[in-house]
Amino acid sequence: TDHATEISETLCPRKNLPKNSPPKTEVSAPIPLVRDSNSPDDSQIEEEKIAVAVSCLDDCDNDEEKRNYLRFLISPPAQEDEEVLTKIKEAWVFHISYENGFSLKQEESNPYLAVGTRMLFQLLREKMRLHEIIETYKPPDPLDVVSVIAKHYNRDLKSVTVILVVDGMQQLMENKDDGLKALEVLNDCLAGRSIEECNVDTLMNDLRYNLTKKYRDAIFGSVEEARPIARAILTRRLLNRYKPIPKTDKTPDEFVGGGLIRFEQVENSPKGYLTAPYIWLWIFVEMSQQLGDPILRDWEFADYGEQRALLNPVTSLQAKSWQSFEKLVASFRCIKSAVIEEDEPTSISEVHAGARLNGDIQFKNHNLQLEVAKHHTDTRSKTLTAREWNVVCYNSTVDVRKFKHCIINAPASPYGDFFLSLDQPDTESPNEIHQYKLRKKVVSKKEYQEEREKSASENDFFILFTTANCNIEIPKKSGIVDRNAFTDYFGPFAGRAYRSAMANSSIYNNKVKNIHTVSLGQTCNMNQSKER
C-alpha cells in the first residue's frame, strides 16, 4: 500500500526525509504487534513467568515468535484498560537488527540515527537494500520515520503507539565491557596512587588527558562544535531535541548519542537542556584551544586541590571562603561571556539562565576580564553619567564604560559586591550588579529591597545570590539565585559553588571555633562586621 511520503522520487541523494507531500512509491506497512488471523490464542502461549518470557526473546527463531512473546508480556496488564488494549492492538512494530548483515556500517557514525535508517529499510525492504538506503538518504531521526507513516494515515503523532524492537545492540560495543571504559580509565589513573596523599590536581589532569584520548571521537565529530555546546550547557539554552543546536548541524540527540552529554527533557515535551559533568566541559575547552579558539582560557579547571581544601575543617578556615564564592560567581559570569561570540546580541535571561528573574535587558556581549577594585566603589549607574568611568583596580585602572571588564568591589563595601556596565548603544548604559549573602536565614522582601536600593539604580539589573531560600516577590529588573537554584544556574559548576559557599558554615553562623586560625578577611565578612 502507498502510505509513506515521496521516499524515492522526492529525495535527492543524501537528503533529509521529507515530511509533507503524498507518496508515489509503494512501501511496506509497519508490522502490527499481532495479526489476528495468524496469532495464537492466549491458551497457545505457555503461561510462564515474565522473566522467562523476556529471556526467551533471545531464543526466538523468527520475528513472529518475538511478537507473540511481546503480546504475552504486554496484553495481560492491558486487559483491564480498554483504551490501552486498543493502543496495543493498533501498535506499529519496527523490528530492526544490528546482526546478520545489518551491523553498523563504516559510514554510519551515529548509532541512534542508524536506528532510523533501519526503520526506513523496513518500510522500503521490497524495493531497496540496506546499503542502497544508506547511500541514498541522510540518516533520519527515528521520530521522522514514524511521522512519515502518521502523515499518510492522517494520525496525530501523539496518538500513535510504536514498539521498537532492536536486536544485536551488543554489536555496537567494541567489547562486552565497553560501558565501563570511563571507570577503567579512572582505575588506571589511580593505580599506584593513594587518593588521600596524591596531588589531586595532577591526578585529575591525567584523568582528563586519558579520557580525551579514549573518547575524543565520541565527544565531537569536529572540535569546532565545542563553543556552541559549551554555550548551550552553561546558558541553559532551551533546545528542541529534533532541531539542530544553534551554530551546529546536529540535534541534541546526535550529541547525546556518545553518552557523555545528557539531554534533560522538560516534562513530556520535545524541549529540554544539555547537561555535562565538569570534567567533560574541561575536555571541551581543551579541545577548542587546539583550533585557536581558547574559550575559557583564563579559567583554572584544575582546581581540585582547592576544592578538597574547602572540605577540610582546618584549611577551609585558613582560606578566604567568602571571597572564594565571590570569585567563583564572578568568574562564572566571565565564562558565560566567553562562550557567547564577541559583539553578539544577548540578554540577562541568557547569561543568567536558571536564576529567577523579573524583567530582562538586551545588550551586546563582550568577553569579560575579571578585576578587583582597590577601593569601595559606588555601583549605581546614575551616580556617574560621564562617558568614562575609571575604577582603580589591583592590576590596572579600568574604564568600566568600555564594557570589557567586570569588577569585584573592595571588601566590606556598602554598595554592590560585583558590577559591570552593559553595552547598549545609544542609551545610558545600565549596570549589572550582584550582591552575595552567605547565610541560612531566609531573605525577606524588605531585606532584598534594601540591598537593591543601596547597590543599583532604577534602570540597573540587580541579582542577589544567597545560600538561603528566598521565595519573595522580586522587584522589576531584578533576580535571585538561592540555594534551590544552584543546580539549574551553575550547571557543571554547581558542586563548586555549593562547596565554596558552605566551606565554613561556622563563619556565617557567627560562630568562630578558633579565632587564632581565622583570617582577617573572614572576620570582616562576619555578619556583625558588615551589614549584609
Percent pLDDT > 70 in the chain is 67
Q: Check whether residue 55 and residue 107 sit in a common domain.
A: yes
Backbone angles phi, psi at 468, to 5 degrees: -95, 170
Higher-confidence residue: 280 or 258?
280
pLDDT at position 57, please? 46
| Block residue for cell numbers 500500500 | 1
The predicted pLDDT at position 430 comes to 95
Q: Is residue 478 helix, strand or coil?
A: strand
Evaluate if residue 63 carries a pLDDT over 70. no
Of 18-22, 157-161, 194-198, 373-377, highest mean pLDDT: 373-377
pLDDT of 340 higher than 50: yes
- For residues 162 and 213, membership in a common domain is answered with no
Match 551589614 to its residue by C-alpha cell.
531
Least confident segment among 67-81, 139-153, 177-191, 507-521: 507-521
Over residues 72-94, mean pLDDT:
68
Residue 138 vs residue 43, higher pLDDT = 138
Can you give the residue range of the structural domain that contains 285? Answer: 178-305
In a domain, 16, yes or no: no
In a domain, 260, yes or no: yes
Has residue 205 been placed in a domain? yes
The per-residue pLDDT for 373 is 95
Residue 401 and residue 259 in one domain:
no
Q: Indicate if the pLDDT at residue 36 is higher than 60.
A: no
Domain count within the chain = 3
Give the DSSP per-residue string, 134-165.
HHHBPPPPHHHHHHHHHHHTT--GGG--EEEE
Q: Tell me what pLDDT residue 275 has.
A: 87
470 and 331 inside one domain = yes
Please indicate, yes or no, whether residues 168 and 209 belong to a single structural domain of this protein.
Answer: no
pLDDT digits 0-9 by tens, 219-277: 655 566 777 888 888 888 899 988 899 888 888 887 776 667 888 888 778 889 988 88
For the chain, how long is the longest CA-to-CA vector?
88
More confident residue, 111 or 35: 111
For residue 40, give Cα distances in angstroms to 43, 84, 163, 498. Answer: 8, 20, 20, 60
Residues 293 and 350 placed together within one structural domain of the fold: no
Q: Which cell numbers hold the place of 20?
A: 509533507
426 within domain boundaries: yes
**What percentage of the chain has pLDDT greater than the value 90?**
22
Taking the C-alpha atoms of residue 367 and residue 365, their distance in angstroms, rounded to an integer, is 7
- Using the predicted structure, report yes or no on whether residue 55 has a pLDDT greater than 70: no
Q: Is the pLDDT of residue 52 over 90?
A: no
Claim to verify: residue 490 and residue 516 sit in the same structural domain:
yes
Nearest to 275 by CA among 261, 285, 265, 286: 261
Residue 102 lies in a domain: yes
- What per-residue confidence (pLDDT) applies to 29? 60
In a domain, 3, yes or no: no
Q: Among the three residues 172, 207, 234, which one is the final residue of a domain in this structure?
A: 172
Of 86-90, 122-126, 129-133, 502-506, the range with the lowest mean pLDDT is 502-506
* In a shared domain, residues 168 and 183: no
**Boundary-marking domain end, from 117, 140, 172:** 172
Same domain, 243 and 371: no
Tens-digit pLDDT profile for residues 300-322: 665 555 655 555 544 444 444 44
Quick check: is 162 in a domain? yes
Could you tell me if 138 and 68 lie in one domain? yes
For residue 349, the tally of other CB atoms under 10 A from its CB is 16
Whether the CB-CB separation of 445 and 408 falls below 8 Å is answered with no
Q: Which domain-ending residue is among 305, 333, 348? A: 305
Residue 2 lies inside a defined structural domain of this protein: no
Q: What is the pLDDT of residue 293?
A: 54
Taking the C-alpha atoms of residue 328 and residue 226, their distance in angstroms, rounded to an integer, is 22
- Give the residue-averaged pLDDT of 366-382: 93
Q: What 3-state DSSP class applies to 392?
A: strand
Q: What cell numbers appear for 365 in the block? A: 556581549
Co-location of 156 and 231 in the same domain: no
Mean pLDDT over each residue of the chain, to the nearest integer: 75
Q: Looking at residue 478, what is its pLDDT?
A: 97
Least confident of 6-10, 65-69, 88-92, 143-147: 6-10
Structure pTM? 0.58
Q: Which residue has the higher pLDDT, 524 or 272?
A: 272
> What's residue 527's pLDDT?
41
What was the pLDDT predicted at 46?
A: 40
**What pLDDT is attached to residue 361?**
95
Measured between alpha carbons, how far is 55 from 523 in angstroms, rounded to an integer? 65
Q: What is the pLDDT of residue 418?
A: 95
What span, in angstroms and rounded, lies between the C-alpha atoms of 345 and 337?
A: 11
* pLDDT at res. 167: 82
The answer to whether residues 153 and 218 belong to one domain is no
Highest mean pLDDT among 67-76, 117-126, 351-360, 430-439: 351-360
pLDDT confidence bin for 508, thresholds 50/70/90: very low
